[in-house]
């Protein structure tokens, strides 16, 4: 007489197969997560540029020669969790050259935000540099 049901060996094979599958997916999940964080930072820098164009116009209108250093971005831009806004220093924007205004390391990548302040003929500009550490 044949008994129905699952044998112990079959259960063990199923568990081992599940663990192997899960173990192979972990690096992919981590990569997707880090790509999302990087995308959030890229979007943030894009929003800084969009907002700075508006503030540049306001600065010209107010007689501040196009500088955005006196403005705050806190309530004008959505700040992602990856950015510690208290460490973002708009006052360090370079007058003619780009200066580093923020740095953060996430995983094996260092994110650096640069800024050049505006003047009477040139919009302010923000840039993002991503430096990957292969170690």
Residue 4 counted as domain residue: no
Could you tell me if 124 and 117 are in contact, meaning their C-beta atoms sit under 8 angstroms apart? yes
What value does the CA radius of gyration of the chain take, rounded to a whole number of Å?
Answer: 25
Is residue 87, in this structure, part of any structural domain at all? yes
71 three-state secondary structure: coil
Domains in the chain, number = 1
Look at residue 2 and tell me if it is in a domain: no
Nearest residue to 77 via CA among 56, 97, 55, 57 = 55
Comparing 113 with 12, which gets the higher pLDDT?
113
Q: Is residue 88 scored above 60 in pLDDT?
A: yes
* Domain, as residue range, for 94: 9-132
pLDDT at residue number 132 = 86
- How many helices, marked H, and strands, marked E, lie in the chain? 1, 3
User: Would residue 98 count as lying in a domain?
Assistant: yes
Please indicate, yes or no, if residue 73 is contained in any of the structural domains: yes
For residue 68, is it within any domain?
A: yes
Give 34's pLDDT tier (boundaries 50, 70, 90): low
Residues in the chain: 135
pLDDT at position 46 over 90: yes
């Amino acid at each position: 007489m044949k008994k129905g049901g699952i044998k112990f060996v079959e259960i063990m094979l199923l568990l081992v197969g599940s663990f192997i599958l899960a173990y192979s997916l972990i690096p992919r999940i981590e990569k997707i997560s880090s790509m999302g964080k990087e995308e959030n930072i890229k979007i943030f820098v894009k929003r800084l540029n969009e907002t700075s164009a508006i503030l540049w116009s306001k600065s010209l209108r107010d007689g501040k020669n196009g500088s955005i250093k006196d403005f705050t971005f806190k309530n004008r831009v959505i700040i992602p969790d990856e950015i510690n806004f208290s460490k973002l220093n708009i006052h360090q924007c370079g007058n003619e050259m780009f200066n580093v205004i923020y740095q953060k390391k996430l995983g094996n990548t260092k994110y650096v935000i640069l800024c050049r302040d505006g003047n009477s003929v040139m919009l302010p500009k923000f840039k993002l540099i991503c430096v990957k550490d292969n170690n």
